[in-house]
Amino acid sequence: MCGRYSLFAPRENLAARFELMDFEEIEWVERYNIAPSQNVLAIVRSDAGNKMGMLKWGLVPSWAKDPKIGYKMINARAETIDQKPSFRNLLKRRRCVIPADGFYEWKKVGTNKIPYRFQLKSKESFGFAGLWDRWENNGEIIHSCTIITTEANAVLKGVHDRMPVILTKESEKVWLDRSISDEYYLKKILISFPAEEMEAYSVNPLVNSSKNDNKEVLNSL
């Protein structure tokens, strides 16, 4: 799964990396320990280009009776994404990219869990493959998202058996292209990111609490 990540790259770097047209309008602060149920930056494709907005992390399907379902839907499995009622239609028409520059997983060692940070060797920002939806009831509106996961690559496997789908720059363009709706074609890009381009290290246990959203969580043990 993917339950925590970071995004602290400068605004101008993100705008250039993701070819954003309206990032100046977004209230953006550096984040080191982003957690489910929080509002996160996400990118969709509009007629004018890539557009950034805020979505609540934890998908609330448009048909849900209770928005609390979002707490159980922070991730979607790539292997079954075209089969689940919550995701199938979104795969065709409501795809998004969720920017990040690293994410965390925990390795079980005896009775302890040791947090690890995973990032690109280049230290560049990257995009998770995501889905979004709009829920409305009695005047309340929630725009929410989920991060898609797949089988872990060699860098992750010693820590966790799943990893978020990190899109290449080329597959990002496909994922955001609203003219594409072929499920088989879209699923082909939901694969593990090349292990040789990633690195990992153990980090400060402060990351265990989402209240600790500062640079200290990045410190290696």
Sketch out the chain's domains with CATH numbers: 5-218 (3.90.1680.10)
Give me the residue label for tokens 């720059």: 169
Query: For the ranges 43-57, 126-140, 172-186, which has the lowest average pLDDT?
Result: 43-57
Q: Is 112's pLDDT higher than 80? A: yes
What pTM, to 2 d.p., does this model score? 0.96
SS3 assignment, position 157: coil
**HSE-CB of 136 using CA atoms within 13 angstroms:** 2
Mean pLDDT of all residues in 150-167: 97
Average pLDDT in the chain: 94
Which positions are catalytic?
A: 2, 105
CB 53 within 8 A of CB 24: no
Tokens of 106: 């925990």
pLDDT at position 12, please? 87
* 36: Cβ contacts below 8 Å, ≥ 6 apart: 3, 57, 58, 71, 74
Query: For the ranges 19-23, 161-165, 169-173, which has the lowest average pLDDT?
Result: 19-23
CB 164 within 8 A of CB 2: yes
